[in-house]
Amino acid sequence: MTASDEARRPGGARARRRASRLVDIAEVVGVHVSTVSRVLNGDPAQSVRPEVYRRILAVARQQGYRPNALARALKRQRTGAFAFVIPLLRNPIWARLQRGALQRAAERGHVVMIMEEPTEEPKPPDSYRYLVEESRADGLLIATALRVPEHAPGVTAVPHVYVNRRGPDRGNNVVMDEPGAVRLFVGHVAALGHRAVAMVDGPADVDTVHRRVSAARRGCASRGMSLSVLHAPATEEGGYEAVRQMLRRAPRPTACGVGSLNQLFGVLAALREASVAVPGDMSVVSFDEDECLAYLEVPVSSVAMPLAELGAAAVDALIARVESDSRGDVLVREPMRMVLRDSVAPRPA
The DSSP result for 283-298, as a single string, is: EEEESS--GGGGGSSS
49 and 158 together in one domain: no
Render pLDDT for 227-277 as a digit per residue (tens, 0 to 9).
999 999 999 999 999 999 999 988 899 999 999 999 999 999 999 999 999
Higher pLDDT, 168 or 260: 260
Last residue of a domain, one of 66, 92, 110: 66
302 touches 188 (CB < 8 A): no
3-state SS class at 141: strand
Higher pLDDT, 323 or 194: 194
41 and 153 together in one domain: no
Is residue 301 over pLDDT 60? yes
Q: Is the dihedral of CA 44, 47, 48, 50 positive or negative?
A: positive
291 and 277 together in one domain: yes
**pLDDT, position 62:** 86
Alpha-carbon span 30 to 23, nearest angstrom: 10
CATH number for position 57: 1.10.260.40
Is residue 13 over pLDDT 50? no
**pLDDT, position 42:** 62
Tell me how many domains the chain contains.
3
**pLDDT, position 76:** 52
Q: Which of 28-42, 149-163, 212-226, 234-248 has the lowest mean pLDDT?
A: 149-163
96 and 49 together in one domain: no
Does any domain span residue 342? Answer: no
Is residue 82 over pLDDT 90? yes
Does any domain span residue 28? Answer: yes
Does any domain span residue 20? Answer: yes
pTM of the model: 0.76
Alpha-carbon span 153 to 144, nearest angstrom: 15
Phi and psi torsions of 157, nearest 5°? -95, 5
Does any domain span residue 104? Answer: yes
Cis peptide before 149 (omega within 30 of 0): no
Q: Which of 88-92, 241-245, 277-281 has the lowest mean pLDDT?
A: 88-92
232 and 297 together in one domain: yes
**pLDDT, position 89:** 66
Please give the share of the chain, as a percent, with pLDDT higher than 70. 83
27 and 111 together in one domain: no
Q: Which of 42-56, 99-113, 171-185, 222-236 has the lowest mean pLDDT?
A: 42-56
Does any domain span residue 337? Answer: no
Cis peptide before 279 (omega within 30 of 0): yes
209 and 273 together in one domain: yes
Is residue 171 over pLDDT 90? no
168 and 194 together in one domain: no
**pLDDT, position 39:** 81
219 touches 250 (CB < 8 A): no
Q: In the predicted model, what is the mean pLDDT of residues 300-311?
A: 96
Reported confidence tier of residue 66, pLDDT bands at 50, 70, 90: low
Q: Which of 58-62, 115-119, 191-195, 211-215 has the lowest mean pLDDT?
A: 115-119
Alpha-carbon span 221 to 253, nearest angstrom: 15
**Which structural domain, as residue segments, surrounds residue 223?**
178-305
Q: What is the DSSP string of 57-86?
A: HHHHHHTT----HHHHHHHHT---EEEEEE
Render pLDDT for 96-138 as a digit per residue (tens, 0 to 9).
999 999 999 988 888 899 888 875 567 788 888 888 777 788 8
Does any domain span residue 339? Answer: no
164 and 245 together in one domain: no
Residues in contact with 334: Cβ distance below 8 Å, sequence separation at least 6, in sequence order:
306, 309
DSSP state of 235: S
81 and 127 together in one domain: yes
Ranked by mean pLDDT, the top range of 13-22, 28-37, 286-295 is: 286-295
Is residue 330 over pLDDT 90? yes
124 and 168 together in one domain: yes
Is residue 60 over pLDDT 50? yes
Is residue 347 over pLDDT 60? yes
CATH number for position 169: 3.40.50.2300
Alpha-carbon span 163 to 105, nearest angstrom: 15
Where helices occur in 11-128 by DSSP H, the ranges are: 13-16, 22-29, 33-40, 50-62, 69-76, 93-107
Higher pLDDT, 280 or 166: 280
Last residue of a domain, one of 17, 41, 66: 66
**pLDDT, position 297:** 95
Alpha-carbon span 336 to 36, nearest angstrom: 31
Q: In the predicted model, what is the mean pLDDT of residues 203-209?
A: 90
163 and 247 together in one domain: no
Q: How far is CA 50 from the centre of its chain?
A: 22
317 touches 282 (CB < 8 A): no
The average confidence (pLDDT) of the chain is 85
Does any domain span residue 346? Answer: no
- Amino acid (1-letter code) at residue 194: H
Alpha-carbon span 303 to 235, nearest angstrom: 19
Is residue 176 over pLDDT 90? yes
207: region left, alpha or beta (phi > 0 left; psi from -120 to 50 alpha): alpha
Alpha-carbon span 184 to 241, nearest angstrom: 26
Does any domain span residue 281? Answer: yes
Q: Which of 7-11, 66-70, 124-128, 319-323 has the lowest mean pLDDT?
A: 7-11
Task: Give whole-number Cα distances, 144 to 17, 124, 204, 273, 315, in Å.
Answer: 42, 9, 14, 33, 16
